[in-house]
Amino acid sequence: MKRILPVFLTALLTCSALAGCAAQQKGGSVSTDGSTSMEEVIGVLGEAFQENNDGVTFTYNPTGSGSGIQAVQEGRCDIGLSSRSLKEEEKAGGLTETVLAYDGIAVIVNPQNAVEDLDVDTIAKIYTGEITNWSELGGNDAQIVVIGREAGSGTRAGFESITGTEDACRYRQELTSTGDVITTVSQNPDAIGYASLAAVSDQVKAISVGGIAPAETTVKDGSYVIQRPFVLVTKNDAKLSDTAQKFFDFALSDEAAPLISQAGAVPVK
């Protein structure tokens, strides 16, 4: 009996330790970094993931697509967020992209602006400085104030690629977040900008492009032409933690699709 008691206590302590480890494994953390345009989408996904997984910590650092790609490359986050496709050199550097959703890039003006529709060619001429006054487009006699994003922004890369204005835009201001663009356009009746459709509010007016309004349905069917992917970026030679992998799988699941739609983007699923 004396020999059985120590064995029993050892087994009991071992079970307790294992239970403690299991409790610790129940938590965990996921860190994401990158695109400010993905804030709404990542916000709802992160919130739902935390609600369904006790003890999990989810973080999102809105630094811009270029910074998010660099962060995952350097191992400073689990998953990078980009609102543009990876460049070939980024893929060659050991990164992989997984498309989460598609997002329209809305062309926005101040609500006081009478202009309702522009085609892609006209938008390009505004941004390259060929058209400089709203009166040329049926608006007020006022200089067009061209607003855009900073170099490295996924939104800027997508917009300039689709409009054929790479390295040719003549910006009055280059801002570092989607929210800043929306705020600036909302405060200037002569401004024009571009922003993620998922982030557009009634502070500004999203005009139609070639007669097609930006909306989930027109992004999904491809008729709204100014659109780009929302991408999850991971590092090939770095396995995700169990918690980060669980979030990654959840974000791409059928369960997450309605949440992505709720946030204003079009899920791949």
Q: Are 88 and 179 in contact (CB under 8 A)?
A: no
Please check whether the two domains, 29-102+228-267 and 104-227, share a CATH topology: yes
The architecture that CATH gives domain 29-102+228-267 is: 3-Layer(aba) Sandwich (3.40)
User: What pLDDT, on a 0 to 100 scale, did the predictor assign at position 264?
Assistant: 87
Q: What is the mean pLDDT for each group of 10 consecutive residues in the chain (269 residues)?
A: 41 40 63 95 97 97 96 98 96 97 96 98 98 97 98 93 96 96 98 94 97 94 95 96 98 97 90
Hey, what's the torsion of the CAs at 89, 93, 163, 129, to 10 degrees? -80
Residue pointed to by tokens 């986050």: 77
- CA 243 – CA 30 distance, rounded (Å): 7
- Give yes or no for a contact between 237 and 73, defined as CB atoms under 8 angstroms apart: no
pTM beyond 0.85, yes or no = no
**Where are the domains positioned within the chain?**
29-102+228-267, 104-227
- Alpha-carbon span 67 to 79, nearest angstrom: 12
Cα–Cα nearest to 34, from 73, 6, 89, 1: 73
Nearest of 255, 239, 240 to residue 52 by alpha carbon = 255
Q: What is the pLDDT of residue 81?
A: 98
Residue 141 DSSP symbol: S
pLDDT of residue 207: 98
Say how far apart CA 195 and CA 247 lie, in whole Å: 27
Q: Which parts of 151-204 are beta strand (E)?
A: 173-175, 191-196
Dist. CA 106–CA 196, nearest whole Å: 6
Q: What is the spatial distance between Cα 223 and Cα 61, in angstroms, rounded to a whole number?
A: 32
* CATH classification for the domain delimited by 104-227, as one of 3.40.190.10, 3.20.20.70, 3.40.50.10090, 3.40.50.10490: 3.40.190.10
pLDDT at 269: 79
CA dist 261 → 40, 198, 240, 257, 269 (Å): 10, 9, 26, 6, 11
Q: Whole-angstrom Cα distance, residue 171 to residue 149?
A: 9
- Vertex 153 angle, CA 234 and 104, to 5°: 90
Question: Which pLDDT belongs to residue 26?
Answer: 63
pLDDT at 212: 98
Running DSSP on this structure, what letter comes out for residue 55? T
**Four-residue CA torsion sign, 241, 243, 245, 251:** negative
**In contact, 63 and 34? CB cutoff 8 Å:** yes
Q: What is the pLDDT of residue 6?
A: 43
